[in-house]
Amino acid sequence: MSGRAPVIVHPPSGTGGRRVTTRGENLGMAFSDEDLIEFLGRAGLPDAEDVLDDPSWVKWRGADAHHYEAA
């Protein structure tokens, strides 16, 4: 790993939800931790629930972690 978190949870959109990417690939728009866990599981991260608060795996940008409401 390059020292950067491979999963980016982008700032909340104006209508709610956060775009999720990994290494430049768009995984989708998450509206809850459950959505995020589903995306990460499909991307091959089997213990996704355990890494949401691990900054070596997930970088939350533009708002607090676990916050999905409209900006």
* pLDDT (0 to 100) of residue 5: 80
Per-residue pLDDT, 46: 75
Structural domain boundaries, residue 43:
7-60
Q: Which pTM does this prediction carry?
A: 0.90
- Token pair, residue 70, equals 């409209």
Kindly state whether residue 65 falls inside one of the protein's structural domains.
no
pLDDT score recorded for residue 45:
82
Residues 57 and 51: beta-carbon distance below 8 Å: yes
Question: Parallel, antiparallel, or unpaired for β 7-12 and 25-30?
Answer: unpaired
How much is the pLDDT for 3? 57
35-55 pLDDT, tens digit per residue, is 999 999 998 887 889 999 999
* 66 part of a folded domain: no
Per residue of the chain (71 residues), give pLDDT as tens: 445 789 999 999 999 999 999 998 999 999 999 999 999 999 888 788 999 999 999 999 999 999 999 97
Whether 31 maps to a domain, the answer reads yes
User: What's the number of domains the chain is made of?
Assistant: 1
For residue 55, tell me if it sits in a domain: yes
